[in-house]
Amino acid sequence: MAEKKKNILLQGGILAGAGIITKIIGFTYRIPMGNMMGDKGNGLYSVAFGIYGIALTISSYSLPLAVSKMVSARVAKAEYQNMRRVLVSALVYALIAGMIAMNVLYFGAGILEGLYRKPGLARPLRVLAPTTFIVALLGVFRGYFQGHGDMVPTSVSQIMEQIVNAAISVFATWQFMHMYGESEDASSYAAAGGTLGTLAGAATALLFIMYLFGMTRQRYMNKVNPGERLESGSSIYKALFLTIIPVILSQTIYQIGYTIDDLMFGKLMALHKYEIDVVTSLQGVYNTQYNQLVNLPVAIATAMAASTLPSIGLSRMQNDTKAVNQKITQVIKVNMVIAFPSAIGLSVLAEPIMKMMFPRLVTYQQQAIMLLTVGSSAVIFYALSTLTTSILQGHNYMRLPVIHSAVSLGVHVILLGILLVLTDLNVYALVICNVLFPLIVSILNCIAITRKVGYQWELVNTFLKPLLASVAMGMVAYVMYHVFFDAFKNVYIVSCLAIGAAIIVYAVLILQLRCFDEDELRSIPGGRVLVRLMR
């Protein structure tokens, strides 16, 4: 049992580590690509990806989880033939769902371009269309390996996918801008170049994981259990759909929120007589310069949390309520210790961040700075909502997060419509509603965790102390930047000094405030060093 627990935690850590690496690569390559595309190209790219995200969610996003759960359940009972039937059934589903999604995107691209009022949107959508088919198949094979307790194929394929994606996206964007830079369709071609990397990365990952499947096929596929009772095809498909549908519903609500924003913004801004190119450019600023920066710390925090969630599941299976509560506290605390300083740091250093990362996007630079300044608190609420959703689902409350997200989305859409129609907030309305959505989900999830799980919140150490340390850190960073900028006049040097001082101040305060006890610190990577420092 101890060996099994150690293996689960190790595999969870591998997958979480790969998640962090891929998010960092994804963030990094978007910076040069975004600078080359320009605001309008970024707008087309982000709207295309919002539509692609919905197609992906409906067709294949849930497949790794569904397949891994079904495969692992049958492997645990030595039902090897049923395991093979699950794989075949999932591949059939992926082929059908992926093909439908691909055809809808490819042949419906022109209709979607008109619906979103985005001339040139069809071109990146048609490049993304075959990617949905590839990712559907990829999800099945990743779930198959995960079902056998092996996270390495998924992790390596994710990293390979993102590396190829980054290289091809940047090169293709540069090449298309070089070829079509003087054309009126330059932004459309630039967006298509960026999506070409997504297609190439997914294809590379699929080829790699199919190669691994071929290499390990005999190990997994030739096992026989003479006493096995065979399941019918209908029962396997039923189990597959019952596993897929809750995940689809939950994730579709998140994904559809982004594309509803794009659709409403494009339609309702016309009421205020904004030109189409201006609307598209403002969407590019919001999705590329604001959302990318907000999503990075959230992705890192939740990926780190993912390595702890399997441990929570094990303690729950052992009916160890005390251990479950301790681990929930720890994982939320780690998230908040990352989220609070990230939010405040992005807010107080919004100006130098924008100038350093997007030096060529100057037309709407002040709007981008203001968006990040007022909307960075979304980092905290997205981190908390994502984590609390995972905790509820880990306790088999699958429907609650879906209901909470649906309620929040309804409020979000109504408020966004009111703000866009009755005020001239334009892109700032998107930011207000972007903060509101995860805030409502977080509140509803936290109430449910208290009532359903019986968890008692540790408010001071989990929320108050990280907030106080982050505020002090933000004040130091703000003063350091403005004082030293007058002396050096170099945004890169001064930003490095301010960020370095902020990190030191925050780390010292977190240790001095005793946000973590020694046992909690030892369980964090590098925690033993921190224990010695604290002593």
pLDDT greater than 60 at residue 344 = yes
Structure tokens at 91: 């591949």
What is the reported pLDDT for 376? 95
The CA distances from residue 122 to 45, 133, 185, 283, in Å, are 11, 18, 11, 17
Neighbours of 412 (CB within 10 A): 23
What is the reported pLDDT for 57? 82
What is the reported pLDDT for 347? 96
Specify whether the CB–CB gap between 137 and 64 falls below 8 A. Answer: no
Instruction: Return d(Cα 212, Cα 194) in angstroms, integer.
Output: 28
Between these two residues, 371 and 402, which has the higher pLDDT value? 371
Neighbours of 274 (CB within 10 A): 17
What is the reported pLDDT for 13? 64
pLDDT tens, residue by residue, 92-151: 999 999 999 999 999 999 999 999 888 999 999 999 999 999 999 999 999 888 888 778
- 38-57 mean pLDDT: 90
398 three-class SS: coil
- 181-207 mean pLDDT: 92
What is the reported pLDDT for 521? 67
Question: Mean pLDDT score of the chain, rounded to an integer?
Answer: 86
Specify whether the CB–CB gap between 250 and 65 falls below 8 A. Answer: no
Q: What confidence tier does 69 reach under pLDDT thresholds 50, 70, 90?
A: confident
Amino acid at 319: N
Between these two residues, 100 and 335, which has the higher pLDDT value? 100
What is the reported pLDDT for 401? 85
- 39-54 mean pLDDT: 91
pLDDT greater than 80 at residue 5 = no
What is the reported pLDDT for 306? 57
What is the reported pLDDT for 111? 94
Specify whether the CB–CB gap between 505 and 483 falls below 8 A. Answer: no
pLDDT tens, residue by residue, 440-478: 999 999 999 999 888 889 899 899 999 999 999 999 999
Picking from 292, 381, 350, the residue whose alpha carbon sits closest to that of residue 24 is 292
